[in-house]
Amino acid sequence: MSISQVIDLTLSAICITLVSIMNAIDIKGLIKTYKNGVKALNGINLEVKEGDFFALLGSNGAGKTTIISILTSIVTKTSGEVKVFGYDLDNETNLVKQSIGVVPQEFNISIFEKVQDIVINQAGYYGMPLKEATKQTEFILKKLDLWEKRDQISKNLSGGMKRRLMIARALVHNPRLLILDEPTAGVDVELRYGMWQYLNELNAQGTTILLTTHYLEEVEQLCKNAAIIKQGEIIKNDSVKNLVNSLDSETYIVNIEKMTTPLKLIDGFTVTNIGDDKLEIDIKKGQYMNSLVKQLDANGIQVINIQPKENRLEKLFLNILSK
Amino acid sequence: MSPSKLFTTYKTIVRKEMIRIFRIWSQTLLPPVITQSLYFLIFGGFVGSRISGDFNGQKYIEFIVPGLVMMAVITASFSNVVGSFFGSKFQRNIEEILVSPTPNWIIIAGFITGGIVRGLLVGFIVFLVGYVFTGVTILHPLITLIFVFLTAVVFSLGGLINAIFATKFDDISIFPTFVLTPLTYLGGVFYSINQLPPAWQSISKINPIVYMIDGFRYGFSGRSDLNVGYSFVMLMLFTIGFWYIAWYLLKKGIGLKS
């Protein structure tokens, strides 16, 4: 094989790779005005790549649920263009619906139906034959630790179980895009970590995930990219890493051995004494933790541990929203 | 969606409806049987035995059997769909179907199948009760079946339309109480419209239930107040009209989407 052939093949491979990374969600100029006059979305533009784990952040009423509801055909858009995996929401609605699984914010399961029936029926609505639906339901309920509850009516499940049931229902038809509207609200810590692990697994297998949450720690743990929405407009859209790095300063709580001498000035750092054994220190972008620890040591202060005062993304989120 | 997938979605809705009907059989199948048995006993037995005269060549108790069966069918098919669909709307699990690629006509077909099955089941049980009381027989089974089936379709569609518009539980009881019940009672269940003064006869002909009961009664006895062919056409028109309204409402998302 000649060098030119190798180059050609390499270029072809690159092109194929680039083309294959299509947008899972492509929204252009999306506007939604409700009948009561409330303008929920004011010309949203949003792209989510296939395979992404994407977070949509914003305060209550910012427009997150409206975007999700439009994507899932529960709310009709006023204007704009919405595409899911290249399928147009207006003209290829069924293909869009077939691609999406959704876990809504509020419980919307029939309280009188059995757990197993809820999931089997959902598969049926997507045209999955009963035999296949039953098999798939067993797999997914076992995966989400609900198999033992399969014959119980959903009314008798705990909040966390209901939440997992809704995830099972959303996944039963193997959607390419999973939309989660605050999926871990009301879920205890242990279950939340279990759920995170499962969502990561799904994402690793190729499922694109769009998530809204109030737990910004969740975004840091799970998501690759995020958009912040305020009053129906996207005001920031970047990778989670870049968003966190864009912070000008971070505040840490330094737990120390009890101080015996008054605290001297520590060069370059803003230090507040918040107790005999606690310091609050602001570390600006470009400053190093090493320098801080060295100076504290030089002052005869023994550091026990250092922890962030607040979630970094939370700080960023509040900073952006307050602008 | 391929035809086999469409059929699967239809079967799914119907299966869900059947589970519901038989799970709460004491609410869905039993009450109309008790109510209609009381009608047979009071209007047919106690009061009816004192009513003299010829009712299309039949005794009064025999005359009211088709009307009472039809009354049970109308109520059962309407209340099944309105209850089931509004229940799903109220709990918001109707979204399970709305987010799926299930076409609107399958949603309509699935839900009204539930209403038709319940209506026909209740109608059959009430007919058996009537048979015990009167020994009534059916002269034209096919005509009887066509009229009872189409009536169940029309009122299942009516229940669906009511449920689509309803926003609270009061809304699903207003129509049956203030519209459906009066129309049914004035639809010739207990009397022949030929016995009414001419002006009331004309007014009665505005009531669609008159055609349903009259055609159904023709199936039983071979006698009717109105032309059976005309009644059939009216029933077909109501079926097509109600289907179109239900489909249009679902297409536009009225009462379901923001």
Residue of B11, B16, B99 lying closest to A97 (CB–CB): B99
Strands, sheet with A53-57, edge to edge from the N-terminal-most edge strand:
A100-103, A177-181, A208-212, A53-57, A225-230, A233-239
Mean pLDDT of the region A255-274: 76
Q: Does residue A62 register a pLDDT over 90? A: no
Residue with the bigger pLDDT between B146 and A21: it is B146
Residue A17's pLDDT is 52
**Which residues of chain B neighbour A95 with C-beta distances below 8 Å?**
101
Q: Tell me which of A3-12, A230-239, B204-213 is least confident.
A: A3-12
Query: Quick check: A77 contacting B, CB < 8 Å?
Result: no
Yes or no, beta carbons of B100 and A125 under 8 Å apart: yes
Q: Which of B177, B71, B60 is nearest to B122 (CA)?
A: B71
A18 pLDDT band, cuts 50/70/90, is very low
Tally: H helices and E strands in chain A: 11, 14
> CB–CB of B23 and A112 under 8 A?
yes
> What is chain B's pLDDT, residue by residue, as a tens digit (258 residues)?
788 999 999 999 999 999 998 888 888 888 888 888 888 888 777 777 777 666 767 777 788 888 889 999 999 999 999 999 999 999 899 999 999 999 999 999 999 999 999 999 999 999 998 888 888 888 899 999 999 999 999 999 999 999 999 888 888 888 888 888 888 888 888 888 878 888 888 888 888 888 999 899 889 888 888 888 988 998 999 999 999 999 999 998 888 888
Please give the residue of chain A at the shortest CA–CA distance from B97.
A125
Nearest residue, CB atoms, A127 vs list B5, B91, B98: B5
Query: In this predicted model, which residue has the larger pLDDT, A49 or B257?
Result: A49
Which of A39, A119, A126, A166 to mutate to probe the B interface, most B CBs <10 Å?
Answer: A126
- Average pLDDT score over residue span A70-88: 93
Assign A308 to helix, strand or coil. Answer: strand
Look at B34 and A258; give whichever has higher pLDDT.
B34
Of A34, A76, A112, the CB nearest to B253: A76
Q: How far apart are CA A168 and CA A174, in angstroms?
A: 10
Candidates B116, B35, B38; CA nearest to B74 is B116
Contact A128 B253 (CB under 8 A): no
Contact B98 A74 (CB under 8 A): yes
Helix H or strand E segment including A101: strand A100-103
Question: Using a CB-CB distance cutoff of 8 angstroms, which residues of chain B are in contact with residue A104?
Answer: 92, 95
The residues near A204 (Cβ < 8 Å, ≥ 6 apart) are none
DSSP string, A124-183: HHTT--HHHHHHHHHHHHHHTT-GGGTTSBGGGS-HHHHHHHHHHHHHTT--SEEEEEST
**The pair of three-digit structure tokens given for residue B223, joined into one six-digit string:** 């006698």
Residues listed for chain B: 258
Six-digit token pair at B211? Answer: 């055609």
Any B CB within 8 A of A72 CB:
yes
Say yes or no for a CB contact (<8 Å) between A125 and B96: yes
Q: Give the percent of chain A with pLDDT over 90.
A: 44
Answer whether A168 touches B (CB < 8 Å): no
| C-alpha distance from B258 to closest chain A C-alpha (Å) | 5
CB contact under 8 A, A94 and B98: no
pTM to 2 decimal places: 0.82
Q: Strands A225-230 and A233-239, how do they pair?
A: antiparallel
Q: Which of A39-43, A94-98, A283-287, A309-313 has the lowest mean pLDDT?
A: A309-313
Q: Are the Cβ atoms of B101 and A128 closer than 8 angstroms? A: no
Each residue's pLDDT tens digit, A184-234: 776 777 778 888 888 899 999 999 999 988 777 788 888 999 998 988 999
Contact yes or no for A111 and B91 at CB 8 A = yes
Complex ipTM: 0.85
How high does pLDDT run on average in chain A? 85
| Structural domains for chain A | 18-244 (3.40.50.300), 247-322 (3.30.70.1560)
If one counts every other C-beta atom within 10 angstroms of the C-beta of residue A47, the result is 16
In this complex, do B88 and A109 lie within 8 Å of one another by their Cβ atoms? no
Q: Measure A112 CA to nearest chain B CA, in Å.
A: 9
Chain A residues 108-127 with a CB less than 8 Å from chain B: 108-113, 117-118, 121-122, 124-127
d(C-alpha A141, C-alpha A171), whole Å: 10
Contact criterion met (CB below 8 Å) for B234 and B151: no
